[in-house]
Amino acid sequence: MKIVRFAVDGRARYGLLKGQTIQGIEDKPFRHLRPGDQHYPLGQVRLLAPCQPSKIIALGLNYHDHARELNSPVPDSPLTFLKPSTAVIGHGDNIVYPSSSHRVDYEGELAVVIKKPVWRVSVADALDYVLGYTCFNDVTARDLQYRDNQWTRAKGFDTFAAVGPWIETELDPANVVVETYLNGKLKQRASTSDLIYSIPEIINFISHVMTLLPGDIIATGTPSGVGPMYPGDTVEVRIKPIGTLKNFVVKNGG
């Protein structure tokens, strides 16, 4: 099942994507999915980020090949950081290049969307709390990341958390291929079978720190091949069983 969030008649609502048609659903998709009577052609609505997280928890260094690329030892526990909810954009939106950075990178990642409140869940039960999966671009001002001890600024600019195009609920997260394309050229390609910490292990770890809420996003880390983007570029994160998240890099006009 593919859950979309979209704008129609000046308001945001959720729906189920079936082929090229969206069937509206009543309320939010986190508890009971109640399909409604209204149908909308996909081409005639504007897709929005598929959820509105209270927070985004992201993983640093969670692929073996990325650790090798950086000549970095495998971390002995997951390395986490937060991205603010105000950084979220959806499919087709612009990533705004901040004037204070000269090096903004893409990081293609598989993202987990949380279904119901989670607090101290076991590894075995962790996936019961997942609504589904989506594509994520953990946009990063790399020069500022190296300059600051904390990554809040480098990871936190508005538009630096691209999410979408929708949430796929039926997916085995243990073995999907994540690809990133810049202007149509393949830049990153890895299977989640190369993850250092699996998705149940990540949820278990984070839920022993903080309560995860419906709609919260966990970005599971990026594989090797990160690199810069510039205004005018088009960046895509493709995960076949989900779809393609496409965004455009633009100059800061302000």
Residues in contact with Mg ion by the rule CB under 5 A: 107, 138, 222
Rounded to a whole number of angstroms, the minimum distance from the CB of residue 96 to Mg ion is: 18
Rounded to a whole number of angstroms, the minimum distance from the CB of residue 156 to Mg ion is: 13
Is the CB of 83 or the CB of 91 nearer to Mg ion?
Answer: 83
70: buried, middle or exposed (CB in 10 Å: 19+, 13-18, 0-12)? Answer: exposed
Q: Which residue is nearest to Mg ion (CB)?
A: 138
Is the CB of 29 or the CB of 60 nearer to Mg ion?
Answer: 60
Rounded to a whole number of angstroms, the minimum distance from the CB of residue 224 to Mg ion is: 12
CB of 188 within 8 A of CB of 226? yes
Rounded to a whole number of angstroms, the minimum distance from the CB of residue 160 to Mg ion is: 11
Angstrom distance (rounded) from CA 232 to CA 176: 29
State the DSSP H helix or E strand holding residue 142, giving kind and residue range, or none if neither.
helix 142-147
Which tokens belong to 231?
């205004």
Its sign, for the CA torsion 228, 254, 12, 183, is negative
CB of 2 within 8 A of CB of 168? yes
Which tokens belong to 99?
């004037």
Angstrom distance (rounded) from CA 144 to CA 175: 33
**What is residue 122's three-state secondary structure?**
coil
Rounded to a whole number of angstroms, the minimum distance from the CB of residue 138 to Mg ion is: 3
Is the CB of 59 or the CB of 130 nearer to Mg ion?
Answer: 59
Is the CB of 16 or the CB of 161 nearer to Mg ion?
Answer: 161
Is the CB of 107 or the CB of 168 nearer to Mg ion?
Answer: 107
Is the CB of 188 or the CB of 222 nearer to Mg ion?
Answer: 222
Q: Quickly count: other Cβ atoms within 10 Å of residue 254's Cβ.
A: 6
Rounded to a whole number of angstroms, the minimum distance from the CB of residue 116 to Mg ion is: 25
